[in-house]
Amino acid sequence: MAQRLELMWIGKEEREKIEPRILIENTELSFQKESSSLFEDSYYDNVLIHGDNLLALKAIESMYAGKIRCIYIDPPYNTGAAFEHYDDNLEHSTWLSLMRERLVMLKKLLTQDGTIFVQIDDNEQAYLKVLMDEIFGRSNFINMVSVAAKVSAGASGGGEDKRLKKNIEYILIYAKDMDSFKPFKPIYKKTELMQYIQKMKEDNKSFKYTTVLTKCTNREYFKTIQDGAGDDIVIEKVNDYEIKPINQIAKEENITLQQAYIKYYDQVMTTTNAQTSIRTRVWDATDSENNMYIATYVPKTGKSKGDKKELVFMGKQKVLLIWLKDTAEKEGNKIYKKEKIGTYWDGFSWINVTKEGGVLFPMGKKPETLIQRVLEMATDEGDIVLDSFLGSGTTAATAHKMRRRWVGIEMGEHAYTHCKVRLDKIISGEDSGGITKSVDWNGGGGYKFYELAPTLINEDAFGEPIISKDYKPDMLAAAVALHEGFKYCPNPNVFWKQSQSNENAYLFVTTATVTVPMIKEIESQMADDEFLVIACKSFEKAAVSVSNKIKIKKIPQMLLGKCEFGKDNYELNIVHPPVYEDEEEE
């Protein structure tokens, strides 16, 4: 047998048998803005679930399998605060086991081109990376991002006086299937140009975009050559051009450097000796004098694919002119230098982040701008986003403002006191914090609020399994369908077509005793290729052999052993997340 590299821990082979619970809508807590046109079609796609997130993930497994485009989770970090020595293998193993169960389910929910982002600190980052390699496949690992966070207060777990204070967290990013994964949309960090130039001076670096093409006239046709594919490259010669340093222009026109950059924004440039096939062909086709040439062609690849593009070459070496406007953005009277963001993320404002959304959440709250970056990279409007550790509701709040659909799961009272309060304000247009202004959010949409149903099977006073009294007939039918892999969708015209698994297989759940006449009546209504399972509390013995197209099962016996009933809490064994110092206090 081939061996594989994997992470081992105590109890790894002991898998949890999670009970598939049905969801019950709490219509008093579901919320939609009156006369809202936004999201009307997707109102029912926004879902807030209160309950243990492992049970909740099992509940939505069949409903959302293959439909979630992006998952972001910020699970409790195994800080070791609950025990004297962090190396307590039992506690460590519990964390890994429960994370494994959640990650396996989350993978099933992703679309084939979907991605998952898991934020973690250095206590479990290395272990989680190996675990996710095992679940998602090492070939589907995309990146590990380092996130600049607030400085850790260093007040947990002991020995903090011997360690450096923490100011970095990590986000592990995986694709469900790298072959289907589409590259992330580029994200840029923007810095006001004068600040950017000043920072470069402080770092003893030179800013390259310091010249202006003040004149470029009298263009005349020079020659047509071909690119590697045989398509035309049209070359023109510029007979009248002028280049000046931007400092000189500012002095001559008696304006500030910032005003000069704004006035000549489209003409500010620098040069590069970058070796490209286009440059080589233009070089070979033109003279070696100090002239300027413009080559016009249509790229076959890249961001300008299919669009006519002009490249300007100058001087004996045919250096290529590159423009500030291609790496910057002009907004009113300011210019912002753009830098493509890689695997180090900073620039998030942590000041007062605990108050975002109008709800206080002093531990572990993330800024909306962080989630915005994730969703900008990995999703489009209308995609479904999921967070199964919703906390104060940041992921759902950000997704809603960005016009994504969302599923949020929170097990604690925060579902009522934080998530709902925050989302209601956003929908009503009362929220003005976070990313509200930057995405021009004015309110709208809605969501449905769900509770997990209680366990289906209890024990009576004699230790015998019985169906919970909380289950009405329709709830029982839906719950058994979920257990058996059927979709609960009662046919209004045919009573026994209550749930369906494929085109011709049905499930009928009844609390009545199944009799021989009932089986014969149902069989008379069935097509030749149809099959039916009847789940019931009792049945006549003779009814079992009446029809080979109908199978009878007894509840609750048919469900025993399939899962663990009566367990309502699969909470990760963590006391609290890291505590961070307030920037304002610093």
pLDDT tens per residue, range 482-517:
999 999 999 999 999 999 998 899 999 999 999 999
Task: Report domain 457-559's class.
Answer: alpha beta
DSSP string, 398-454: HHHHTT-EEEEEE-STHIIIIIIHHHHHHHHT---STTTTTTT-----EEEEEEEPP
The model carries a pTM of: 0.85
Residue 475: partners with Cβ closer than 8 Å, 6 or more residues away: 22, 24, 453
**Residue 21: what residue type?**
R
Q: Tell me which residue of 221, 323, 227, 241 sits closest to 276, measured CA to CA.
A: 227
Q: Tell me which residue of 107, 47, 24, 20 sits closest to 71, measured CA to CA.
A: 107
**Residue 374, token pair as written in the block:** 């994730």
Question: Helix (H, G, I), strand (E, B), or coil: what is residue 43?
Answer: helix
**Residue 244, token pair as written in the block:** 């000046």
**Residue 480, token pair as written in the block:** 């058994």
Across residues 22-31, what is the average pLDDT? 95
More confident residue, 350 or 201: 201
Give the pLDDT band of residue 96 (cuts 50, 70, 90): confident
**Residue 8: what residue type?**
M
| Residue-averaged pLDDT of the chain | 88
Q: Would you call the peptide bond into 517 cis, given omega within 30 degrees of 0 as the criterion?
A: no
Question: Helix (H, G, I), strand (E, B), or coil: what is residue 184?
Answer: coil
Distance between CA 512 and CA 536 in Å, rounded?
7
- Residue positions counted in the chain: 586
* Residue recorded with tokens 């990146």: 143
Architecture per CATH, 23-187+345-452: 3-Layer(aba) Sandwich (3.40)
Estimate to the nearest angstrom the gap between the alpha carbon of 540 and the chain centroid.
Answer: 52
Question: What is the share, in percent, of the chain residues with pLDDT greater than 70?
Answer: 88
H/E segment holding residue 193: helix 193-202
Across residues 326-354, what is the average pLDDT? 88
Strand partners, 323: 269
Alpha-carbon distances, residue 558 vs 124, 482, 483, 566 (angstroms): 40, 13, 10, 16
Distance between CA 359 and CA 419 in Å, rounded?
9
Q: What angle do CA 251, 253, 255 make, to 5 degrees?
A: 75
Whether the CB-CB separation of 424 and 447 falls below 8 Å is answered with no
Estimate to the nearest angstrom the gap between the alpha carbon of 243 and the chain centroid.
Answer: 47
- For the stretch 204-252, pLDDT in tens is 999 999 999 999 999 999 999 998 888 899 999 999 999 999 999 999 9
Whether the CB-CB separation of 314 and 321 falls below 8 Å is answered with yes
Domain boundaries, the chain: 23-187+345-452, 191-339, 457-559
Distance between CA 554 and CA 566 in Å, rounded?
20
- For the stretch 418-471, pLDDT in tens is 999 999 999 999 998 999 999 999 999 999 999 999 999 999 888 899 999 999
Q: What is the DSSP letter of 178?
A: T
